[in-house]
Amino acid sequence: MPADPQYLRISTDQHFRDRMMSTRPIRFYHRGQLVQVRDAAPTRTVLQWLREDARCTGTKEGCAEGDCGACTVIVGEPAGDRLDLHAVNACIRFLPTMDGKALFTVEDLKAAAGDGALHPVQQALVDHHGSQCGFCTPGFAMSMTACYERHHEAGTRPTRQQLADELAGNLCRCTGYRPILDAGERMFDAPAVRLRLSAALDALRALPDEPLEYHAPSAAVPGRSDAFHAPRTLSALAALRVAHPQARLLAGATDVGLWVNKQFRDLGDIVYLGEVAELRRSETDAGAGVLRIGAGASLEQAWSALADRHPVLQEAWLRFASPPIRHAGTLGGNVANGSPIGDSAPVLIALDAQLVLRRGERERRLPLEQFYVDYMVNRLEPGEFLQAIELPLDVVADRLRAYKISKRFDSDISAVFGALRVVLDAGRVREARLVFGGMAATVCRAAHAEAALIGRPWGEAAAEAAAAALADDFKPLTDMRASAAYRLRVAGNLLRRYALETRPTDPLPAAALSVWARETA
């Protein structure tokens, strides 16, 4: 018997009302007061809310994918007796993730300066001709303000290179970076003007301490209510994941945000990982013999921990996307996403990383190199999620290197990424891990090239043998980033460079093999 359309409509309406009854508003601090939002779709972005609802139009939309930086804002998160400030992209940040946080935009700079004056960041941009068309300028100003606040708090001043690194996520098509960097150096000369952080912290502390369980009309399906779950404990997350295995797991939205903005995908119900403190920790567990990085640790935090232990990864860290992306995105999200051109997986596989996977109260461990099945397909079971990445502390990594090849030096997707590590015994290769991204449907090891090295004296001749074997390991594709032939040639050249840097006799310093270092010297 066909269903009664009237009954279906009434049932849907009742379901919507029932879900709405269990919700509370999104609460955050903005423009000197607490804001409550009740009816925004869970995938409404911070940028949409700012421009269309709050009428704060200083923040601009450029690319809508977190690349250009025109939408940069500062998010303040309570951390004890202070606010942690991070520049992020408002265009891919979903509004419910702002719950319990402070949102600062370019409008706040004028309020901080007072009496109609410009903030030192803004004044420096004016004085040093750092703005022409002006579209990108608010984003630059906010990235510079995050830097300004952090260095004032520490009593330091950034170098010009540090400023350039801070601004790697902000693109300017007309002024160029020289006058903007000049402004960044001079913004510390004027008397300090700080954002009103204490007022924001006091207001956020006054909020009831309760997790967000938010329901609102769907942005994709009229008449449907979508849920945004934000558990605060690992056990609560595990229970939610088992109860809602089809819900979309959300971390930093640096990839998922593009699904909505660019592909108009329907996410449905969302389980947000960003409030689970256990997932955001990075720690050295000497008893277990591992460096454990929580799946919810930001890319900035995770790469910092990796580079602290392996300083040779410093460049890979700085070239992994941009600061706003690294502040929002997570290492667990990058790994679980499984992109064949993700830069984290090659490094982690080279270091013999293990994944801690959880379903309910059950945990299991799986080597990362066994996690990927095919293009964007992994071994997660229904109701399971990535809890942590563990790296053994006893791994021999004195010859670890990581190389990124991309069209832009900063903030670009890799054409090829190589993470290479050999272990020698009396000058001969005892162990080899040659891991490449961009060469196949998944990040994977070059098994034939590794076999060509085992037992051989390490040096240029061994690297040539490994390079010749790469054609048996990979049949790369041709796309907008590189041709198949280029990728194979580059992978071989990276092996040759690696041998020159790590050969037992007279190894060359990295600067001697870097075109970038030689051009900017």
Fill in the DSSP letter of residue 23.
-
Q: Is 482 helix (H, G, I), strand (E, B) or coil?
A: coil
Alpha-carbon distance values, 426 to 27, 423, 455, 497 (Å): 62, 10, 10, 22
With a pLDDT cut of 70, the percent of the chain lying above it is 95
Residue 89 in contact with residue 103, Cβ under 8 Å?
A: no
* DSSP calls for 171-208: --SSS-HHHHHHHHHHTTTSPP----HHHHHHHHHTS-
Q: Which pLDDT score, from 0 to 100, does residue 83 have?
A: 97
**Separation between Cα atoms, residue 282 and residue 295, nearest integer Å:** 9
Amino acid letter, residue 73? V
pLDDT for 26 equals: 97
Contacting residues for 84 by C-beta, under 8 A, at least 6 apart:
76, 77, 78
pLDDT of residue 418: 98
What is the predicted pLDDT for the residue at 383? 97
Distant-in-sequence, close-in-space partners of 144: CB < 8 Å, separation ≥ 6: 121, 125, 163, 166, 167, 183, 184, 187
Confidence at residue 241, expressed as pLDDT on a 0 to 100 scale = 97
* pLDDT at residue 23, as a whole number: 78
Residues 6+ apart with CB under 8 A from 75: 85, 86, 88, 93, 98, 101, 102, 103, 104, 327
Q: Where are the alpha helices (DSSP H) in 128-264?
A: 137-154, 160-166, 177-186, 197-205, 234-243, 256-261
Domains annotated for the chain, with CATH where assigned, are 25-206 (3.10.20.30), 280-392 (3.30.465.10), 401-520 (3.30.390.50)
Task: Compute how many other C-beta atoms are within 10 angstroms of the C-beta atom of residue 373.
Answer: 12
Query: Distances from the Cα of 119 to the Cαs of 122, 126, 185, in angstroms?
Result: 5, 11, 15
Residues 452, 315, 415, 254, Cα dihedral to 10°: 130
- The predicted pLDDT at position 160 comes to 97
Q: How far apart are the first and last CA of the chain?
A: 79
**Token reading at 370:** 């066994």
The predicted structure's pLDDT at residue 520: 52
Closest CA to 76 of 203, 247, 232, 240: 203
Per residue, the 3-state secondary structure of 290-347, as one string, reads: EEEEECCCEHHHHHHHHHHHCHHHHHHHHHCCCHHHHHHCEHHHHHHHCCCCCCHHHH
Q: Which residues of the chain have pLDDT under 70?
A: 1-22, 516-521
Token readout for 410 is: 């900063």
Place of tokens 């996307």: 321
Instruction: Note the pLDDT of residue 4.
Output: 38
Crossing angle (nearest 10°) for helices 177-186 and 120-127: 130
This prediction's pTM: 0.92
Q: What is the distance between the alpha carbons of residues 235 and 240, in angstroms, rounded to a whole number?
A: 9
> Are 74 and 98 in contact, with CB atoms under 8 Å apart?
no
